[in-house]
Amino acid sequence: MRLDEIDRQIVAWLQKDARASFRTIGSEVGLSAPAVKRRVDRLLAEGVITGFTALTDPRALGWTTEAFVAVYCEGRTEPDRIRTAVAKHPEVIAAYTVTGDHDALLHLRVRDTAHLEDVLQRIRSEPIITQTRSLVVLTRLLERADPLGR
């Protein structure tokens, strides 16, 4: 799949405002609304666009604390086993395999530090996990949905 500049502009528009009409996007990228719709349909079919969602403020929903947790596992644990172990904890909003001493890095969102402690206990009780190290986020300095910073 090869994206041209108009495809990239459409994706950027949708990242900025997924509720923008095809007419609005079309007027900005030089296409008719039906042409934009055809391109969006193609981008969905090709897996470039994987869905649409509402962005929320986690604090407004009561999730005021974030943490990154380095996870250490027994032996050589396969990434699928780590994914399975951490996916059952809804507070884990992202999980990554990474370089370094630890096997994975988890991004958690919780209500408060008591909730964080509970989640850490549950994660540590997973049979494959031998140790964790946590970093609590104090201030979010920068967060981008678009890797180009638009």
The pLDDT assigned to 57 comes to 86
Q: Assign residue 112 a region (left: φ > 0; alpha: ψ between -120 and 50; beta: otherwise).
A: beta
Segment 27-36 shows an average pLDDT of 96
The confidence band for 16, taking pLDDT boundaries of 50, 70 and 90, is confident
State whether residue 81 is helix, strand or coil. helix
State whether residue 142 is helix, strand or coil. coil
CA dist., res. 38 & res. 90, Å (int): 36
Contact at 8 Å (CB) between 30 and 6? Answer: yes
Q: Does 98 have pLDDT greater than 70?
A: yes
Contact at 8 Å (CB) between 123 and 86? Answer: yes
Q: Does 20 have pLDDT greater than 70?
A: yes
The sign one gets for the Cα dihedral 34, 35, 36, 37 is positive
- Per residue in 37-79, pLDDT (tens digit) is 999 999 999 999 999 888 888 889 899 999 999 999 988 899 9
CA dist., res. 48 & res. 55, Å (int): 19
The confidence band for 146, taking pLDDT boundaries of 50, 70 and 90, is low
List the domains of the chain with CATH numbers.
5-45 (1.10.10), 65-136 (3.30.70.920)
Q: For the chain, how long is the longest CA-to-CA vector?
A: 57
**Two tokens at 7?**
């495809």
The pLDDT assigned to 75 comes to 87
Q: Does 147 have pLDDT greater than 80?
A: no
Query: The whole model's pTM is what?
Result: 0.77
